[in-house]
Amino acid sequence: MIPRFRPSIGLAEFLALFRVRRNAVQEFEREFASRMGVSEAVAFPYGRSALWAFLRAVGIRDADIIIPAYTCSVVAHAIALSGNRPKFVDIRLTDYNMDLDALADAIDENTRAIVPTHIFGYALDMGRVETIVRDAESRYGHKIWIIEDCAHSFGASRDGRLVGTYGDTALYGLNISKIITSIFGGMLTFRDEGLAAKIRIWRDAEFQKPGLLKPWLRRLYLLATFVAFNERVYGFTWWLQTKTPLLNRLTKAYHLDDKIHFPPDHLDRMLDVEASVGLVQLEKYGEIVAQRQRNAAWYDEHLPERDDWTLPPIVDGATYSHYVIRTNDRRTFLEACAKHQVELGQLIDYSVPDLDPYKVEEQCPNSRVASETVINLPLSIPESRRQMVLDAIGHCP
Ligand SMILES: *Cc1c(COP(=O)(O)O)cnc(C)c1O
C-alpha cells in the first residue's frame, strides 16, 4: 500500500544512528542555520517545546498571541502552557494561510506576539505581515514579536526570499512527518545573534539531560518507522492504525488535539543521536524538496478537473509539505483509494478554535471548512508510483 506520507530515510540514516558524534547537536544547529539562510539555530526536543521556550525566555506572559485558526493544535497548546492565550485569525481558502486583512483587525493592545504560519509549504506574504506589525507597534507602543512557523515549509520562498528569514525567530518541527526529520526534535532560527545567545542560555538552564535509555528508544522508534512505512508492510500498518486502537494508544502520550498537553519528555535536550540523523537529512534536503516539487507539478498537470473537488493552488516557490485537495465527500475518496492500495491523508481535521480547550464565540468559518474537507495525496513517492495514485483516484465515484 502507498502510505500518505513517508519519511525519506534509508541506509545513511541507519549508519548515523550508530555513529553518533559527541557534539552532533551543535553541528546540527550550525548546518541547519546555514541551510535556512540565517546565522543561528537553537535545537529543542520538539517544535512545541521550542515555541513554549521562546515565549518564556523573552518574558511574554498573560498576553494574546495571534495564530491562524487552521494550524497544528500543538501551537495553541504551547502558547497556553507558556501562560498566554492563543487568539485565532481565520484563513483564506485560496492558499490556506492566515487572512492578513483579518490579522490587521485582530491585533490590539493585548497582542505581544504573532505566529504567521506558512501552511502546506505555501509562503505567506511576510512583507505585508511586517508592515502590519510595525504599524501596530507604533500604535500600542510596545514590541510585538514575530515567530514564523515554518514547520510545513522548509525551503519555501516568495519572490525569491526564503521563509524563516523575516521575523524575530522561525520555528521548525522535525518529527518523522515533517519534510526532513531528526526522529523528533524542533528548531528555532535567528538572524539576531544576541537573541539566539539569550535563548540558548535559557534553554541550557531549563532543559535537562535525557536518561540513558532514551537514545535507544529513539533508535528503535526510527527503525520501527522505517519498517512500518515500507510499501510492502504498510497495508498491515494501515490495518493496525484504522482497525485497532493499538497505534493510537502508543501515540497518545505524544499527541492529543483536544487536551492542552505536552509529552512527558518535553523538557529534555535534543539527543546527539537525533541530531546525527538530522545532519544526514540536511545533506539530502535539496533532493527531498525537489522530489516533492516534481511530484506536485506532475499532479498539477495530470489530475483531472472534477466538480466535486478543488485542486491545490499553484504557487511559485511552494515546497508542499502536503498536496491538498478540498472535497465535500472526503470519506468516499479515502475509502475508495484505500481499496486500491493508496492511502490519502486527512490532516488537521479540526479548526483549533473549535477544540474543547479553546472554544470561542468568534467564528473562523474558512478554517472550519478546511478542517472538514481537506485530503492530501502521497508526495514522497518515486515517479513510478504516481500513476497508481492517479488510477486509484480515478476509481472514486
Ligand atoms: C509539526 C508542527 C509544529 C511542531 O510540532 P512538534 O510535533 O512539536 O515538533 C508546529 N507547527 C506546525 C504547523 C506543525 O505542523
Q: What is the pLDDT along the chain (397 residues), one digit of tens a residue?
A: 999 999 999 999 999 999 998 899 999 999 999 999 999 999 999 999 999 999 999 999 999 999 999 999 999 999 999 999 999 999 999 999 999 999 999 999 999 999 999 999 999 999 999 999 999 999 999 999 999 999 999 999 999 999 999 999 999 999 999 999 999 999 999 999 999 999 999 999 999 999 999 999 999 999 999 999 888 888 888 888 888 888 877 777 777 888 998 999 999 999 999 999 999 999 999 999 999 999 999 999 999 999 999 999 999 999 999 999 999 999 999 999 999 999 999 999 999 999 999 987 778 999 999 999 999 999 999 999 999 999 999 988 8
Phi and psi at residue 112, to the nearest 5°: -115, -15
Cβ atoms within 10 Å, residue 37: 15
Q: Do 74 and 256 contact (CB within 8 A), yes or no?
A: no
Query: Which three cell numbers, joined as nine digits, stand for 372?
Result: 472538514
What per-residue confidence (pLDDT) applies to 396? 87
Phi and psi at residue 304, to the nearest 5°: -75, 155
Does residue 69 have its Cβ closer than 6 Å to ligand 1? Answer: no
Does residue 74 have its Cβ closer than 6 Å to ligand 1? Answer: yes
Cβ atoms within 10 Å, residue 124: 24
What per-residue confidence (pLDDT) applies to 363? 81
What per-residue confidence (pLDDT) applies to 245? 84
Ligand 1 centroid, distance to 164 Cα (angstroms): 15
What per-residue confidence (pLDDT) applies to 337? 95
Query: Which three cell numbers, joined as nine digits, stand for 352?
Result: 483549533
Does residue 9 have its Cβ closer than 6 Å to ligand 1? Answer: no
What per-residue confidence (pLDDT) applies to 21? 87
Does residue 47 have its Cβ closer than 6 Å to ligand 1? Answer: yes
273: which residues sit within 8 A by CB, 6+ positions away? 16, 17, 20, 24, 183, 215, 218, 219
In ligand 1, which atom is closest to the CA atom of 177?
A: 1
Ligand 1 centroid, distance to 288 Cα (angstroms): 19
Work out the burial of residue 338: count CB atoms within 10 Å of its CB; fewer than 13 is exposed, 13-18 middle, 19 or more buried. middle
What per-residue confidence (pLDDT) applies to 12? 95
